[in-house]
């Protein structure tokens, strides 16, 4: 009997997912339905798939119709829409996969999902996703040997490949730019030497750690919002240090901290705009000092950048002091205006390649000896479309879809991929796509 796979959303991170499903459709006897606001760019490459243009927000009846005729649903829509999809999957008894963090609304469905014998598998992209699976492989392996894990740190970053690193930020958008601009807001929480630690947003990018990955140089990591919630999920209830963070290239965080201090990442109110907004005007509205003084000089003095040429060059590169460059937004938040400025300079060109970097660091005792283990992953993209980000987000989802349909994964309830029955087959197949971790024990 032919099974139907429904993919909701075909954005930047979906290309490897869609190609995997397409390439396996005949062998696995699948029908593939791809639904997105606009599927015109897929017509040439996905001729055998059913392409449907529709807006989930505007047509909930169509959503239910599509889910009802499917065997499994993969939701690649924005995270806030997942509960809408999940409710329809529950109504029509369909399995669901998402790459997003499990919301409280989805968690509340666990009992009913279990009773119906369904699996809602979430956090199955790269971060979250591959980070969970690769960490749990090591955690279970160490515990099986009798090790007592005392510290766990994990970092991940979507960056630009060295060969395409041609701007002073050492960064280009490989993910949703809005998410980058809003990253880190709130308070970061983690555990250090058995003490709870909190970092408010206004100091987050000042509190970084430096790491080196052989062959790829240095990276700085800042704390993710909530590391504590994974202590129990990772079966590390007696852990002394638990920290999850994000990687950037130095000195990205030092420069970003200036945006935070200025208030340019705020998305809670609209700017009052009574004339065309320029880059310089936008900056000046957040900057103190005498308006009669040259804007660039005011900026340098405000943040004591006189001797920090590298940082000055980063803001020059963005044309932040330009009185001619306009921001063509009439009703926007500071974060939206900043995003527009960044998108003029930090986007992938046609030939650019991105890079996905992940690192886990474990401290543990084994047979009375203290040891450390570092596990690292570097994945390079092929081009602007076939990015490392899309590869590491999409392939775990595609592989899980196949294995759920084949009965290789048969858990029920609302889950993240921390059980061996889920992560082992996925991680094994990911190796064939060049997604391999390197381990070093000291």
Count Cα neighbours of 212 within 13 Å in the Cβ-side half-sphere: 3
160-179 average pLDDT score: 94
* The pLDDT of residue 56 is above 90: no
* The pLDDT of residue 273 is above 90: no
Top-confidence residue, 330 or 192: 192
Q: Which CATH superfamily is domain 130-256+349-380 in?
A: Dihydrodipicolinate Reductase; domain 2 (3.30.360.10)
Cβ 223 vs Cβ 243: under 8 Å: yes
Contacts for 259 with CB less than 8 Å, ≥ 6 apart: 265, 338
Coil, strand, or helix at residue 188? strand
> Residue 275: its pLDDT value, please?
85
Give the Cα separation of 282 and 375 in Å (integer): 43
> Residue 356: its pLDDT value, please?
97
**Cβ atoms within 10 Å of 80's Cβ, excluding its own:** 10
186-200 average pLDDT score: 97
Give the Cα separation of 27 and 34 in Å (integer): 19
> Residue 289: its pLDDT value, please?
81
Give the Cα separation of 398 and 92 in Å (integer): 22
The set of long-range contacts for 389-392, using a CB threshold of 8 Å and a minimum separation of 24, is 389/12, 389/13, 389/126, 389/158, 389/174, 389/175, 389/354, 389/356, 390/12, 390/13, 390/14, 390/15, 390/16, 390/17, 391/16, 391/356, 391/433, 391/435, 392/125, 392/126, 392/129, 392/130, 392/356, 392/435
The 8-class DSSP code of residue 152 comes to: E
> Residue 252: its pLDDT value, please?
98
* The pLDDT of residue 263 is above 90: yes
* The pLDDT of residue 411 is above 90: yes
pLDDT grade, residue 233 (50/70/90)?
Answer: very high
pLDDT grade, residue 274 (50/70/90)?
Answer: confident
Q: Where are the domains of the chain?
A: 3-122, 130-256+349-380, 270-332
> Residue 437: its pLDDT value, please?
97
Q: Exposure of 172 by Cβ count < 10 A (0-12 exposed, 13-18 middle, 19+ buried)? A: buried
407-434 average pLDDT score: 96
Nearest to 121 by CA among 437, 438, 398: 398
Query: Using alpha carbons only, what angle is made at residue 348 by residues 344 and 351, rounded to the nearest 5 degrees?
Result: 135
> Residue 102: its pLDDT value, please?
94
pLDDT grade, residue 318 (50/70/90)?
Answer: very high
Top-confidence residue, 243 or 289: 243
H-type alpha helices, 145-294: 177-182, 230-233, 252-262, 279-286
pLDDT grade, residue 209 (50/70/90)?
Answer: very high
Looking at domain 3-122, its CATH class is alpha beta
Query: Using alpha carbons only, what angle is made at residue 106 by residues 103 and 111, rounded to the nearest 5 degrees?
Result: 140
Give the Cα separation of 236 and 418 in Å (integer): 12
pLDDT grade, residue 176 (50/70/90)?
Answer: confident
Percent over 90 (pLDDT), the chain: 94
* The pLDDT of residue 1 is above 90: no
Contacts for 358 with CB less than 8 Å, ≥ 6 apart: 126, 127, 130, 131, 134, 154, 155, 156, 157, 376, 377, 437
Across all residues in the chain, what is the average pLDDT?
96
Query: Tokens 């002073």 belong to which residue?
Result: 168
Give the Cα separation of 250 and 171 in Å (integer): 10
229-252 average pLDDT score: 97
> Residue 37: its pLDDT value, please?
94
């Amino acid at each position: 009997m032919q099974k139907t796979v429904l993919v909701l959303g075909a954005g930047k991170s979906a290309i490897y997912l869609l190609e995997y499903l397409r390439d396996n459709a005949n062998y696995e006897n699948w029908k593939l339905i791809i639904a997105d606001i606009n599927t015109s760019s897929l017509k040439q490459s996905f001729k055998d798939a059913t392409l449907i243009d529709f807006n989930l927000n505007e047509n909930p009846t169509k959503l239910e119709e599509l889910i009802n005729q499917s065997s499994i649903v993969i939701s690649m829509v924005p995270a806030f829409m997942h509960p809408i999809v999940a409710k329809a999957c529950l109504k029509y008894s369909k399995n669901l996969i998402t790459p997003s963090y499990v919301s409280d609304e989805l968690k509340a469905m666990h009992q009913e999902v279990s009773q119906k014998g369904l699996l809602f598998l979430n956090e199955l992209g790269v971060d979250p996703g591959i980070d969970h699976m690769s960490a749990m492989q090591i955690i279970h392996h160490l515990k099986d040997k009798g090790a007592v894990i005392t510290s766990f740190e994990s970092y991940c970053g979507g960056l630009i490949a060295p060969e395409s690193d041609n701007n002073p930020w050492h960064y280009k958008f490989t993910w949703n730019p809005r998410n980058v601009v809003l990253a880190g807001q709130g308070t970061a929480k983690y555990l250090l030497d058995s003490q709870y630690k909190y970092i408010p947003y206004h100091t987050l990018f000042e509190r970084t750690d430096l790491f080196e990955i052989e062959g790829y140089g240095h990276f700085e990591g800042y704390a993710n919002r909530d590391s504590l919630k994974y202590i129990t999920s990772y079966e590390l209830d007696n852990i002394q240090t638990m920290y999850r963070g994000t990687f950037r290239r130095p000195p990205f965080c030092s420069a970003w901290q200036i945006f935070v201090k200025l208030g340019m990442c705020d998305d809670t109110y609209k700017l009052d705009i009574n004339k065309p907004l320029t880059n310089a005007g936008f900056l000046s509205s957040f900057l103190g000092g005498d308006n009669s003084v040259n804007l660039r000089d005011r900026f340098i003095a405000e943040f004591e950048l006189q001797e920090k040429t590298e940082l000055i060059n980063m803001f020059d590169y963005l044309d932040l002091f330009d009185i001619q460059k306009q921001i063509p937004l009439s009703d926007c938040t500071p974060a939206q205006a900043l995003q527009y400025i960044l998108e003029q300079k930090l986007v992938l060109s046609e030939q650019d390649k991105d890079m996905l970097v992940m690192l886990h660091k474990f401290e543990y005792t084994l047979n009375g000896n203290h040891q450390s283990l570092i596990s690292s992953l570097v994945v390079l993209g092929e081009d602007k479309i076939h990015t490392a980000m899309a590869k590491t987000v999409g392939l775990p989802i595609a592989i899980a879809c196949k294995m759920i349909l084949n009965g290789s994964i048969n858990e029920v309830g609302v889950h993240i991929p921390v059980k061996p029955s889920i992560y082992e087959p996925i991680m094994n197949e990911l190796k064939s796509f060049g997604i391999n971790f390197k381990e070093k024990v000291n």
